[in-house]
Structure 1
Amino acid sequence: MENSGLCRAHTNIALIKYWGKRDENLFLPMNSSLSLTLDAFYTDTKVTLEPTAEADTFYLNGVLQGEKETQKIANFIDLFRHEANNNSRVKVESYNHVPTAAGLASSASAFAALSGACRDAFNLELSTEVLSTFARRGSGSATRSLYGGFVEWNKGIDHDSLSSHAIPIDAADWDVAMLVIAVNTGEKKLSSRVGMKQTVETSAFYPAWVESAEKDLIAIKDAIQAQDFIRVGEITEANGMKMHGTMLGAIPPISYWEPESVKAFQKIQEIRAQGIPCYVTMDAGPNVKVLCQGSNIEKIKKILLKDFKPDQLITSGVGSGIQSLKLSDWTY
């Protein structure tokens, strides 16, 4: 019987953004962040131990990946091999139900699912909190995809203390939803990692961003506890715009916006002016995410259909944390 692990993880969208590392190798962030896990986008990953194999293999959406992509995955899996004291090579099969590298958090669900599958394949007894410190080493935002609802990534002190980990904050089961306006799902020209590093090193606005983000985190957690949707939305939108402002201050300036991103933002402002609470956030990509109430999501979508195509509008409820699946569930 093969020794395998199979896991599903959903993406998350940061409401209080993570933008900037204080340690590039350990993925320790400059500031703590907070996200909402979504059920519309997810990754399923199967990891199979192959003790007699000479090298790892990595299949993404059924396609065998090249040396560069496979080595990145192999380096990450080394963390689990070391923890388990097991040097077995592995076969990784991953199916991404998220457009890759389009600012829709594909790396978050990908490394969260890979983390869970590795934990199961190597038979490691790791709590979800500790597992989040492993997931973080693959993609910072992956640490948050291990939980559902609203999730905080505590920036922590260092790696050895395991203090930089994810914390579930709230189930978000009070009419919270998100609508994604897919402006461009192609791969972005400038990766998040490159854009982040450039911003930290060159933007005069960056120090103020870090200080402001920490204050935003405190404020949004208070608003979540009070289930004050409008306040949560206001803080979300302001924080996202401030992050993009730091990029415009980089040398040379960075912008992930496209003309349709601007149009989407303006349309959401118009809808909000009609009395429907909805708020924009954007990550390192042109696609616009709209934080809204589930009871209003179809109404917002209907208005947006006047300016956007149906396949550009993706609605999502709140996603769950990672799930270990049965091998019989693997139908790819």
Structure 2
Amino acid sequence: MSTTLDVSRRAAAQAQPNIALIKYWGKRDLRLNLPVVGSLSITLDTLWTRTEVRFDDALSADTMTLNGKVDAKQLKRTSACLDLLRARAGVTTRAEVISENNFPTGAGLASSASGFAAMVMAGDAALGLRLTPAEQSVLARRCSGSAARSIFGGYVEWAHGQQADGEDSVATPLLEAAAWPLSVAVAITSTAEKAIGSTEGMNRTADTSPYQQAWIDSQDADLAEARAAIAARDFERLADISEHSCLKMHALALAAKPGLLYWNAATVAAMHCVRGLRAKGLPVFFTIDAGPQLKAVCLPSAAAAVAAALREVPGVLNVVETGLGGPARLIPVADLAAA
């Protein structure tokens, strides 16, 4: 089998970040990036990553450019992801990766999820692999756990799986975005990259948090409750279980040694704001990933009021309004240049 490509091959893809309503936190296998629990998410619409992958025999090494700057920090993970695609294709050709985010990177907004989902889809197309969405999801998971979910749109569940090889740890779509439209107001409270990344935080939590086993034991029931809420289009039920899962995840991390505190003062103020709005009858709830940004999920009829209230919270720098988005998709390479 050839170890190089005969010609330069390139493709570009766009993927949206997702936010977990039933949280993923913890790995059962670090090498394969297998989660210790299943998770359930919604894919966002107006936030995106666009990535071009160009394989070229003339390159002696992989390169990575993110938001117009060479990103040496991400190059190791990028090459590891490309290696998975190269192994599928039976080639060793190096690649140039150019990626753009239209939202803060590494700040708790799932930029790695959308980034690696876009990279896998673009790399698949550039190499002509013709992978199925499930196969793309498995490869994306190997690169960044939550990227498994960003291959799909709408409501998505990622199974923790049972097999040692991880082939059954794959994301599957539950419901298309248009089938139950929701709105999300993302309260940006910091644009800085978080001090402790998710992988490091998960490992510390697994090693030191006394709540780790309780987290694992309760996850299946939480997933079943969220699935039922989505199937019934029951917003209040989904709100209750989503906030519960969010606060459990952060309690788990807070109890690590030393404790992981991903929130800032504005995050907490925004939580109180959302709780206050809900007490007044607005259909809204919050969720927060491993970072300081709060996502307020609401029915579309409440979107304007929720966004306006969050903009008044001290310390909130910006509020990004979005609906639910579709799956990752190929785009013309020219779209990346225009980003």
TM-score bracket relative to the smaller structure: over 0.9
Higher mean C-alpha displacement, 104-113 vs 177-186: 177-186
2:260 matches 1:254: yes
Kept in 2, the 8 Å contact 1:37–1:319? The answer is yes
Please point out which of 228, 232, 235 is paired with 2:234: 228
SS state at 2:112 partner: helix
SS state at 2:64 partner: strand
Aligned equivalent of 2:32: 26
Aligned equivalent of 1:9: 15
Aligned equivalent of 1:268: 274
SS state at 1:236 partner: helix
Deviation (angstroms), 1:304: 2.8
Distance 1:228 1:16, change over 3 A: same
Distance 1:118 1:300, change over 3 A: same
CA distance in 2, matches of 1:106, 1:276: 29
Aligned equivalent of 1:188: 194
Deviations 1:159-178 (A, max 9, x none): 63610101000113323111
Please tell me the root mean square deviation across aligned C-alpha atoms, in Å: 1.5
Deviations 1:257-282 (A, max 9, x none): 11111111111111111100111111
Aligned equivalent of 2:134: 129
Distance 1:248 1:330, change over 3 A: closer
Deviation (angstroms), 1:308: 4.8
Higher mean C-alpha displacement, 176-185 vs 29-38: 176-185
Kept in 2, the 8 Å contact 1:26–1:159? The answer is no
The number of residues matched between the two structures is: 331
2:283 matches 1:283: no
Aligned equivalent of 2:161: 156
Please point out which of 182, 200, 206 is paired with 2:206: 200
2:308 matches 1:302: yes
Kept in 1, the 8 Å contact 2:267–2:293? The answer is yes
TM-score, L = length of structure 2: 0.94
CA distance in 1, matches of 2:306, 2:53: 40
Please point out which of 163, 166, 172 is paired with 1:167: 172
Task: Letter of the 2:309 partner, please give it.
Answer: I
Deviations 1:197-245 (A, max 9, x none): 1111111111101111221001100110001011111110010001111
Task: Letter of the 1:125 partner, please give it.
Answer: R
Deviation (angstroms), 1:46: 0.5
Kept in 2, the 8 Å contact 1:32–1:155? The answer is yes
CA distance in 1, matches of 2:232, 2:144: 31
SS state at 2:113 partner: helix
Aligned equivalent of 1:146: 151
SS state at 1:290 partner: strand
Distance 1:307 1:160, change over 3 A: closer
TM-score, L = length of structure 1: 0.96
Deviations 1:127-154 (A, max 9, x none): 0011100000110000000000000001
Higher mean C-alpha displacement, 183-192 vs 321-330: 321-330
CA distance in 2, matches of 1:120, 1:185: 32
Deviation (angstroms), 1:305: 3.1
Kept in 1, the 8 Å contact 2:51–2:336? The answer is no
CA distance in 2, matches of 1:326, 1:307: 40
Higher mean C-alpha displacement, 34-43 vs 54-63: 54-63
Q: What runs of 5+ residues in structure 1 fail to find an aligned partner?
A: none
CA distance in 2, matches of 1:69, 1:299: 38
Task: Letter of the 1:317 partner, please give it.
Answer: G
Deviation (angstroms), 1:291: 1.1
Kept in 2, the 8 Å contact 1:144–1:153? The answer is yes
Kept in 1, the 8 Å contact 2:117–2:140? The answer is yes
Task: Letter of the 2:277 partner, please give it.
Answer: I
Kept in 2, the 8 Å contact 1:28–1:159? The answer is no
Kept in 1, the 8 Å contact 2:186–2:295? The answer is yes
SS state at 2:146 partner: helix
Higher mean C-alpha displacement, 92-101 vs 1-10: 1-10
Higher mean C-alpha displacement, 11-20 vs 250-259: 250-259
User: Map of 1:60-75 to 2, 5 A cutoff?
Assistant: 60-66=66-72, 68-75=73-80
Superposed structure 1 runs of 4+ greater than 4 Å apart: 308-311
Aligned equivalent of 2:46: 40
